[in-house]
Amino acid sequence: MTTHEDALAHVRAILGFIGEDPDREGLVETPARVVRSWQEHFSGYKQDPADCLARTFSEIEGYDQMVLLTGLDIHSHCEHHMVPFVGKAHVAYIPDGKVVGLSKLAKVVEIYSKRLQVQEKLTAQIANAIQSHLQPLGVAVVVQARHFCMCYRGVHQPHAWTTTSKLTGIFLEDNATRSEFLRLITIGQAPASGL
C-alpha cells in the first residue's frame, strides 16, 4: 500500500525527472498540492454507486414515463495519459414502479467520473449501475467530452468532441423511445456550451 509520504516522494521525483528543482521556492509545496488534488480528482474509488441508488421511492402515482437529467458536468481523467477530459452526460431511465432521488443519478455520474477512465467504460458503468440497482424498463446514457490528450498533445485537435452512448431495455428495443430521448437531449443543448 502506497503511503501519503510515498506519494509526496514520487511527485518530487517526477519534478526532477522533467528537469525541475523540487527544492526551489515555487515548487516546495507542489508535491503536497498535487497529492491533495489527486485525492479530490480520484475520490470515486472510495465511493460505491450502490449506496446512493439504494434508497428508492415507490409512491409515484404509477409514473412510467422517462426521467431525464441533461447537462451533467463530467470532469474525469483518461487512464492512458492521466490528463483531463471534460464534458456533459445525459442520463435517462424509465421506472418500473420505483424512482430514485434525482441528485443520486448525478452522484453516480460523479463517482465514476472521479476515477481513471476511458469514456466508453465511463458511459457503460453509469448505465449499468442504474440498470442493476433500479431495475427500470430501460436506461439511456450519452456522454459528450473533449479529451485533453487529443487537444494539446498527440494529434492536436482542440475542437474534437467524442460522443458515446449506452442504451438498455426499452431504449434499445423501441425506436420511438430512443428517438424521444435523443430529441430531448438536443433541445437547447450544444456540446461546446460552458466549456
Asked if residue 65 has pLDDT above 50, the reply is yes
Strand partners of residue 100 = 56
Each residue's pLDDT tens digit, 85-110: 999 999 999 999 999 999 999 999 99
The domain made up of 51-186 has a fold known as GTP Cyclohydrolase I, domain 2 (3.30.1130)
**Residue 170, class by beta-carbon neighbours within 10 Å (0-12 exposed, 13-18 middle, 19+ buried)?**
buried
User: Residue 193 — pLDDT band, cuts 50, 70, 90?
Assistant: very low
Of 94-98, 117-121, 154-158, 177-181, least confident by mean pLDDT is 154-158
78 is catalytic: yes
Indicate which residue of 20, 47, 81, 135 is catalytic.
Answer: 81
pLDDT of residue 154: 85
Indicate which residue of 119, 125, 131, 144 is catalytic.
Answer: 119
80 is catalytic: yes
pTM of the model: 0.92
90 is catalytic: no
Q: Give percent of the chain with pLDDT exceeding 90.
A: 87
Asked if residue 135 has pLDDT above 70, the reply is yes
- What DSSP assignment string belongs to the chain? ---HHHHHHHHHHHHHHTT--TTSGGGTTHHHHHHHHHHHHTGGGG--HHHHHS-EE--STT--S-EEEEEEEEEEEETTT--EEEEEEEEEEE-SS-EE-HHHHHHHHHHHHTSEE-HHHHHHHHHHHHHHHH--SEEEEEEEEEEHHHHSSTT--TT--EEEEEE-THHHH-HHHHHHHHHHHHTT--TTTT-
125 is catalytic: no
Indicate which residue of 41, 52, 77, 78 is catalytic.
Answer: 78
CATH says 4-41 is which class?
A: mainly alpha
pLDDT of residue 189: 58
Strand partners of residue 138 = 94
User: Residue 151 — pLDDT band, cuts 50, 70, 90?
Assistant: confident
Asked if residue 21 has pLDDT above 80, the reply is yes
41 is catalytic: no
Greater pLDDT, 178 or 149 = 178
Indicate which residue of 4, 39, 75, 79 is catalytic.
Answer: 79
Indicate which residue of 47, 149, 151, 180 is catalytic.
Answer: 149
Mean pLDDT of the chain: 94
Residues 9-38, mean pLDDT to the nearest whole number: 97
149 is catalytic: yes
pLDDT of residue 155: 87
Rounded to 5 degrees, what are φ and ψ at 36? -60, -40
pLDDT of residue 170: 98
Between CA 56 and CA 148, with CA 108 as vertex, the angle to 5 degrees is 165
- Every domain of the chain and the residues it spans: 4-41, 51-186
pLDDT of residue 194: 46
Residues 117-121, mean pLDDT to the nearest whole number: 98
User: Residue 150 — pLDDT band, cuts 50, 70, 90?
Assistant: confident
Each residue's pLDDT tens digit, 26-41: 999 999 999 999 999 9
119 is catalytic: yes
